[in-house]
Amino acid sequence: MRTYELVILADPRLTDEEMVSMTEDYKKMITAGGAAVTKEESWGRRKLAYPIGKMNEGRYVLLGVETDGKSPLPEVELRLRQND
């Protein structure tokens, strides 16, 4: 059994509802890939160590993922790269 931790850093201007729906989309993609989401932690808005795109804050979510060998994350990685 392999364990992954996925930290999502999102735009701080997102509303709480948008952040929850985005997190649910990622969780659905992970479970569709044959893995299980074991934990979910919302860290809220935090200051970044350095500005990214003129933003000094970001919204963080941590997802714990367990899988049985094959990686369920390629589709998630592709989507994360598409969503700046």
Average pLDDT over residues 17-46: 92
Residue 16 DSSP label: H
SS3 34: coil
pLDDT for 23:
93
What is the distance between the alpha carbons of residues 22 and 27, in angstroms, rounded to a whole number?
9
Proportion of the chain above pLDDT 90, given as a percent: 54
pLDDT for 20:
94
What is the distance between the alpha carbons of residues 74 and 62, in angstroms, rounded to a whole number?
17
* Cβ 29 vs Cβ 8: under 8 Å: no
